[in-house]
Structure 1
């Protein structure tokens, strides 16, 4: 055989045995290159490839062993009968053994048949997203693949609570990626969540620190009925005792924001309607460092009021080697609130360190969050004898954003919080189908709030009397500040296991998940009264205690859930959850329900000055406790149709491209049922409370079948018993009053859609339309008000019936994008009686009217740099509207304009 023919045949034959990944794939989100990576037969760096001329001398005989190529096989495991569907991992075919005297010429493989018209494989939206890159240990690849394509939630907390590819998922869900967040340039996490279907937002402050998240008709106040998590761990203040939220992570250190709605069994409680999870930067990922800064102003209109400023600054770095990774992040912010006296600021420190081996990995993360706000919940109130609508008229026509116009000392009021979070997660991968995930976590929160009693000015006090207790009465002079001191300590440990690709009945396969968790919560609630004329601030504890309670909870939770692959199209996901908890409440001091204001303090107290008297005070100490156990079953399904032939390719830093052979579909019909549990606020509620148990149903469809169009639509129905509501009033200690509604029904639907034009035009520009809409008809089926009158048929308080977010935008491959959005928040009531607008002279009860708000944003990446500059604006028309009626009416955030830059390298 002539040498030229021999070498050519050998090169062609060798290339035929190379795995597809080596010749036909490129890394995700990289342009397709002219030449793929060299194959195993590429000459070494110092080798001289043949030039086409014959070499000197005769070519010696060469023995070429070419075994027959075998089809790709799943990982080696014991044979099963019946055989389950193989795990979706592509394995390379065996390489031929070649003995050659000289290196052979390298011939580039043919280019792939398809080249996208833009670098990103998928246009950014809340449903379809680029395949993620894997940075974990080789032994964890199987677990990671199931976290991308699955009908159920991932088992590893740091992988998120929803799969990377939502097309196969059995419940309603949305993910806002880092790329999408960068396009929006949000100031707060509430801005991010406004774009998600099923979610409604009631903003309470300009930095989004104090909750305001509603999912599928839950009251938005403090996000109390939503399970809010960070890396799979609850950040509600005390999930079992007081599930309010006053903290979410800064937007700059997030990988993504996930919202899971509908069937939820692997996370709870507070899982009747939905779960929010904030995913932080993880130690293993692309090495990066970033600094950013934004500044601007907030319109605060009113008599004698100047506009306020706002600013935010951030820096983080992530660096990893083969076995170790680290993330360090700092974010600071200071901004104007809705009232002229509100100043909102925080400093956030986040760190994480990770280690990985061949079959395991470990991550430890911690957060220190210091919040320092000039903020309180006391707003504009009227008097009993005021004419209807006067308090609303005063706000909208006179005071506007001016709180000092009716409460001159309100600038003294403060909200201060110190929060520590920590979590350690260890994952062990026994094999590609078996994962064990263990973690321990904790939260230490101290939050103290101070405000002036009855709006009186402590600085104007001419005497310095101390409040005192006499028998069953508390005497309070004018010009006193009250402190509400709350401390929360939470600790937990959890073990989760996944047994994937196990045989099931009739030849079907299943992915079985199980978990058990223990959690301890403690909560101390104390109200104090300071000395007349004395300013309480910081973390001051000096004062007269007139309300004091301590709470403890010990909870054990467990779940079991399995994803049964009936066939390539249909997955059924049955399961059950168990929650057992024991709660103890110890009362040390308790005021009565009535207070009186006197022109002159009785008995000559305080020298005959005016004072407030609280009656029926009790210093008797007593302890209450109860145990409860709930078994909560559920079942969900996902049916895919309209098969897409293109396989999904996962990038892996250490393993290279890995093609998943599991078929994907352009359409998914999903639905399910589950019983859920929501914990009540136990501070001032009846003890023991009712069991807020819900029967929850949903049916939805998501689709990418039509080119350039993505949509996800779901209908839902909930029937919830013993539904806790917060009335618009407070007791004499200033604490919220909670009561129970016997039965509540929620009927509604949510819709998300996006139209991209680039798939039709092939332009570098992509004009697009995107929107979400939520209708939640949350009505009382059976319930009574405090006067014993039926309120059946009324709306549940603090629930906007409609919420919509509509965007028109344009994206460019040249490094810029711009969009304009309209947000619609429907009207809602703040009391179970559904008092009409202007129907309450004090302003605490009544309708909060609907409002449309206009926002816009644009950003531009400077060519040949890693710097992006951006501008954004909220409430661009400076709409003056009522945002809520918490202790009186409160205006919404005024026009907010921000500009900034971020540099990433």
Structure 2
């Protein structure tokens, strides 16, 4: 069946050359977007949002988490306070390591291993993004593999039409320094872009009894080469980045958090993440006629990481939280402890694929058909180093070579097929049909020896799903539009799946209204997702509810429902413009039927019930703009069923943070800005996973200069 679909689709694509995978039918290959502009987002037959170039330019975001908090229906669980490894969820898709969200950069999947190990330990540098798109509802079936909550597409700096570039330098507290520079241009048929981001900081945490900082160093490089001929174009993109960050999984006890949120225990002194990422893509488009275009995309991503850190620190934090004096003394360094395990969480990922896509405009129909052949793999080889804590210092004792779960290969091969039709049925009614097919074969091989000659255990899984969807928009009049849709969602099980396990599937519905008059826009959308087999992807960063740190855990049937609201308007006050944007999300996620592990009504983890954001600007229209961005999120369950517990350790804390940005355009080429994150210095327990209470970033000021040529 899989081979038949692949062959027939490729033949169809070759016979009918098609358009680039852009929801708006834009044939410009450099515009690798799934939505387009903010205006386009307000007409999609599904809820969507775009953070455009203007917002990115003014706010100069370095942390993707802070941007995501301004989009309705998106949940963020912070971890390190710097946004190095985000946890982002959309609607019913939980937040852990963005593993339940389809993460794209310029339309290319960016998770280290999207099918077998989707946890995003790599995340693209926010500085080099020109816009951010979030697509929800039935239209997301064009993309995948995660098709329940939404798609997050990061759009990078485009190749300039004329020769030019930009250098941005930002300096801030904790010895932070950020540089973003790019140069490029187009002459005749050829265009190019060279870009780099250089980031460093000492971090905002202090480590007990240590002169070592808690900061990071990041280097990111991108090169693009574009050729444009008559009715065809080719874009080659190469990316390389590396990061060293003194980050840890070890958090704090609640008592120590209350005394100093930004403290780190000495046990985490030697913890460090070291990673590198390489990405290559080649995108070819051929416009056969005005109504017929063909695209082929090939991509390859290679990601290697070693997060060297304390293993099992959660046991000490949990014991200390429950009154364990000995565990607390070990955390504080006042009691010696032998046999501490520090694991080299050493993993290499590979992801590659090719997809063919065709788009044909026929009368009032905009048809799209495509196929993707993809494979990915994770190689885990994780030696453990043994240390003793002696008089508050760590003393190396030896090394244990990996076997079993620390020495394994996981991978997946997947064939995807999609067929969509955007049909302008009448002048006012637009209908969007979508059909997606996913066939995934996954495996895991664990080894009993370092030479990998003796197999410890093996497992595999083969699953396939047809995923239909339909949605529509209807223009009631010039101001009012209604929309609704339904689709089947899918989330692959990953490389740890056993033969008998079924993938997570869901039935998803949404309906809402939009109002647009002049500069005023408002949208309210209700959503409902019914899961037959909610699953969790287990990891050390996001342990499953049964305590597992690898593989999958099935929660059973659940329901997630909620309401998304957004509104924006621009007011005038004399010579000043005052744009205001407001978003609000209400969500209720809970188990819907008793099972062996959970009860009907148990609340799901990582879903805040209420979220709110407001962006207010004061623009004198003479080059001076001031922005205030306020964001609020309710407390969240740490694990499913926290509503049945009175323990404060089962929940995070609600948090309200306000950011301020003031930007002044000195002339056509130079601008300066001043930024204060967390203006009122509100720090809360925004996460308890992994391994203890963790804060958001404290009040931090920075100053930047932007020069454009």
Report the TM-score, using the length of structure 1 for normalisation.
0.67
Partner of 1:767: 578
Contact 1:293 1:900 (C-alpha < 8 Å) held by counterparts: yes
- Of 69, 80, 91, the match for 1:216: 91
Name the CA distance, whole Å, in 2 between partners of 1:626 and 1:882.
38
Partner of 1:495: 356
Name the CA distance, whole Å, in 2 between partners of 1:326 and 1:344.
30
User: 1:308-333, CA deviations, whole angstroms, 9 ceiling, x for partnerless residues?
Assistant: 33221111012111201101111011
Partner of 2:199: 333
Change (3 A) 1:853 1:814: same
- Of 392, 397, 407, the match for 2:254: 392
Partner of 2:678: 875
- Is 1:370 the counterpart of 2:242? The answer is yes
Partner of 2:475: 640
**How far 1:166 sits from its partner (Å)?**
3.1
Name the CA distance, whole Å, in 1 between partners of 2:143 and 2:483.
19
- Is 1:866 the counterpart of 2:678? The answer is no
User: 1:459-490, CA deviations, whole angstroms, 9 ceiling, x for partnerless residues?
Assistant: xxxxxxxxxxxxxxxxx962542211111101
Partner of 1:833: 641
- Of 504, 509, 514, the match for 1:692: 504
- Of 586, 592, 595, the match for 1:781: 592
Contact 1:420 1:444 (C-alpha < 8 Å) held by counterparts: yes
- Of 277, 280, 287, the match for 2:156: 280
The number of residues matched between the two structures is 646
Contact 2:93 2:148 (C-alpha < 8 Å) held by counterparts: no
* Equivalent residue runs for 1:389-538 within 5 Å: 391-396=253-258, 398-404=259-265, 408-453=266-311, 478-500=339-361, 502-503=362-363, 509-530=364-385, 532=387
**How far 1:729 sits from its partner (Å)?**
4.9
- Of 374, 399, 402, the match for 1:545: 402
Change (3 A) 1:533 1:827: closer
Give the structure with the higher percent strand: 2
- Of 531, 537, 559, the match for 2:418: 559
Report the 3-state secondary structure (helix = DSSP H, G, I; strand = E; otherwise coil) of the residue aligned with 2:642: coil
**How far 1:808 sits from its partner (Å)?**
2.3
Partner of 1:897: 701
Contact 1:824 1:852 (C-alpha < 8 Å) held by counterparts: yes
Change (3 A) 1:822 1:320: same
**How far 1:726 sits from its partner (Å)?**
5.8
- Is 1:270 the counterpart of 2:136? The answer is no
Partner of 1:59: none
Name the CA distance, whole Å, in 2 between partners of 1:703 and 1:154.
30
Contact 2:598 2:641 (C-alpha < 8 Å) held by counterparts: no
Structure 2 residue runs of 5 or longer lacking an equivalent are 1-16, 208-213, 315-336, 390-397
* Equivalent residue runs for 1:479-878 within 5 Å: 479-500=340-361, 502-503=362-363, 509-530=364-385, 532=387, 543-546=400-403, 547-589=406-448, 621-643=456-478, 666-683=479-496, 688-705=500-517, 707-725=518-536, 729=543, 735=549, 738-758=552-572, 763-782=574-593, 784=595, 788-834=596-642, 839=647, 843=649, 846-862=650-666, 864-878=667-681
Contact 1:809 1:820 (C-alpha < 8 Å) held by counterparts: yes
Report the 3-state secondary structure (helix = DSSP H, G, I; strand = E; otherwise coil) of the residue aligned with 1:222: helix
Partner of 1:343: 215
Contact 2:587 2:609 (C-alpha < 8 Å) held by counterparts: yes
Report the TM-score, using the length of structure 2 for normalisation.
0.85
Contact 1:155 1:498 (C-alpha < 8 Å) held by counterparts: no
Name the CA distance, whole Å, in 1 between partners of 2:175 and 2:594.
46
Name the CA distance, whole Å, in 2 between partners of 1:284 and 1:878.
39
Change (3 A) 1:718 1:732: closer
Name the CA distance, whole Å, in 2 between partners of 1:257 and 1:804.
19
Report the 3-state secondary structure (helix = DSSP H, G, I; strand = E; otherwise coil) of the residue aligned with 2:142: coil
Partner of 1:361: 233
**How far 1:719 sits from its partner (Å)?**
0.7
**How far 1:688 sits from its partner (Å)?**
5.0
Per mean C-alpha deviation after superposition, the further-off stretch among 187-196 and 426-435 is: 187-196
Name the CA distance, whole Å, in 2 between partners of 1:258 and 1:394.
39
Name the CA distance, whole Å, in 1 between partners of 2:490 and 2:536.
15
Change (3 A) 1:379 1:824: same
Partner of 2:321: none
Q: Let me know the Cα RMSD of the aligned residues.
A: 3.0
Per mean C-alpha deviation after superposition, the further-off stretch among 885-894 and 553-562 is: 885-894
Name the CA distance, whole Å, in 1 between partners of 2:464 and 2:509.
22
**How far 1:883 sits from its partner (Å)?**
1.3
- Is 1:289 the counterpart of 2:165? The answer is yes
User: 1:522-567, CA deviations, whole angstroms, 9 ceiling, x for partnerless residues?
Assistant: 1122331125579xxxxxx975114222112110000111111212
Name the CA distance, whole Å, in 1 between partners of 2:229 and 2:53.
27
Contact 2:19 2:285 (C-alpha < 8 Å) held by counterparts: no
Name the CA distance, whole Å, in 2 between partners of 1:835 and 1:736.
26
Change (3 A) 1:434 1:789: closer
**How far 1:680 sits from its partner (Å)?**
3.5
Name the CA distance, whole Å, in 1 between partners of 2:28 and 2:73.
24
User: 1:380-402, CA deviations, whole angstroms, 9 ceiling, x for partnerless residues?
Assistant: 3xxxxxxxxxx423321x34211
Name the CA distance, whole Å, in 2 between partners of 1:411 and 1:835.
35
User: 1:844-886, CA deviations, whole angstroms, 9 ceiling, x for partnerless residues?
Assistant: xx01121111211110000x34111111112122223101111
Name the CA distance, whole Å, in 2 between partners of 1:314 and 1:155.
25
Name the CA distance, whole Å, in 2 between partners of 1:377 and 1:690.
31
Name the CA distance, whole Å, in 2 between partners of 1:178 and 1:514.
30
- Is 1:245 the counterpart of 2:120? The answer is yes
User: 1:150-172, CA deviations, whole angstroms, 9 ceiling, x for partnerless residues?
Assistant: 7xx98968431114423432111
User: 1:280-317, CA deviations, whole angstroms, 9 ceiling, x for partnerless residues?
Assistant: 123253543100111112xxxxxxxxxx3322111101
**How far 1:791 sits from its partner (Å)?**
2.5
Name the CA distance, whole Å, in 2 between partners of 1:441 and 1:796.
36
Name the CA distance, whole Å, in 2 between partners of 1:167 and 1:401.
41
Report the 3-state secondary structure (helix = DSSP H, G, I; strand = E; otherwise coil) of the residue aligned with 2:254: helix
Name the CA distance, whole Å, in 2 between partners of 1:369 and 1:413.
21
Contact 1:206 1:336 (C-alpha < 8 Å) held by counterparts: no
**How far 1:620 sits from its partner (Å)?**
5.2
- Is 1:317 the counterpart of 2:197? The answer is no
Name the CA distance, whole Å, in 1 between partners of 2:223 and 2:473.
38
Report the 3-state secondary structure (helix = DSSP H, G, I; strand = E; otherwise coil) of the residue aligned with 1:179: helix
Name the CA distance, whole Å, in 2 between partners of 1:517 and 1:174.
26
Structure 1 residue runs of 5 or longer lacking an equivalent are 1-139, 298-307, 381-390, 457-475, 504-508, 535-540, 591-618, 644-665
Contact 2:23 2:33 (C-alpha < 8 Å) held by counterparts: no
Name the CA distance, whole Å, in 2 between partners of 1:275 and 1:669.
22
Report the 3-state secondary structure (helix = DSSP H, G, I; strand = E; otherwise coil) of the residue aligned with 2:603: coil
- Is 1:162 the counterpart of 2:35? The answer is yes
Partner of 2:63: 188
